[in-house]
Amino acid sequence: MNLSDGEKLILSMLCDLQQALKVSGSVDIELVRALISDGPQYKPSLARSGDVRDTDRSSAQTQEVGQILEMWSAVERGYKRLSLEEKEQVEAEAGPLGRGIRFSGFDDETEVGHRDVARTLIEESGRFDRFHGRKLSTDMPTLDGYRRMLAQFGSMGPVSADARLNVRQIIALANAEKHPG
């Protein structure tokens, strides 16, 4: 797929508009955003649910990584706005994972596909500027923890860019990331 810079801008703006208006349809906007970056790992015919012929990355994986990045954006935004006392409370109640809460990426050995999709969404789509320039690689699996966090995050209701997670929600998410055993 070869798109001009103008076409990429228009598609990006349409994705933003669809998301802002909360319009649901057959177009996977997360996938469209990844596709307009023209990353070599994507070879779609159409960015419509059920019609994507993506040889290297699944729409489900792209969607999951997008959800993880949205969640971590909200977590980091909320944590940044906490008072010093609230940050100390997070650390006290969530242990080491509560110290300087920050998205660290995915495991270099077992979560390479997720890491590559994250890199594409962050560095090439321009949607997640907060994470731009980060290594995005860890030396231990993170996906199971992120999935536990997503389950908690989903029950917290929609969190928009201007809303913030409170200290209790951040503690709950940090604790959800911990391995249950």
CATH architecture of 5-177: Orthogonal Bundle (1.10)
Helix (H/G/I), strand (E/B), else coil: 122: helix
pLDDT the model gives residue 136: 93
pLDDT the model gives residue 54: 42
Structure confidence at residue 178 as a pLDDT band (50, 70, 90) = confident
pTM of the model: 0.68
Query: Would you say how long the chain is, in residues?
Result: 181
Q: What is the pLDDT of residues 28-53, one digit of tens each?
A: 777 777 666 544 344 333 333 333 33
Two structure tokens written together for 120: 């594409």
In Å, how far are 69, 127, 151 from 157, measured between CA atoms?
A: 16, 21, 11
Q: Which residues pair with 138 in a beta bridge?
A: 107
Structure confidence at residue 159 as a pLDDT band (50, 70, 90) = low
Burial of 74 (0-12, 13-18, 19+ CB in 10 A): buried
Lowest mean pLDDT among 31-45, 50-64, 107-121: 31-45
